[in-house]
Amino acid sequence: MASSLIRVAGPLLVGVAAGIGAIVGASLTRDRKQQLELESAPRPLAVEGWWSSDASSSLAHSHPAVLIVDADTARLVDSWDRRARARVHHPVVRRTPEWPATGLIVVDAATGDLLAVVSEPGHAGMPAT
């Protein structure tokens, strides 16, 4: 009796495990394809860095949409959204306490989190804004 139950249940369990494996594998492949779709800007941004050119960076995948902001005035200088392959649609600058008082900074477009300080006034190479 027990052996006939094992003969029926065994293949069913193997089939369920294979189905679960196929679903997990497909979702991992889809996520990997989405990561590969991130692209750099077709025309140069106000300043260059991982946010504009290195789509393979883990930061690029964590923060696909960025704003380049003048920290003095909280004025938007430029933006880029790798998912849309275009400038950020309706960007909103959200100042956070972590921002420096002056300089050009790169922030996450969704949260306003500071990602990089590009330059500070008085340093060579400060782009004109």
pTM for this entry: 0.60
- 53-105 residue pLDDT tens: 666 677 777 888 999 999 989 999 999 888 887 889 999 998 888 999 899 99
pLDDT of residue 125: 40
Kindly provide the residue ranges of all beta strands, DSSP E only, lying in the chain, ordered along the sequence. 65-70, 75-81, 104-108, 114-119
pLDDT of residue 121: 54
DSSP 116: E
Quote the CA–CA distance of 118 and 120 in Å, as a whole number.
7
Residues 6+ apart with CB under 8 A from 88: 65, 66, 67, 79, 80, 81, 109
- Is the sign of the CA dihedral 118, 34, 91, 99 positive or negative? negative
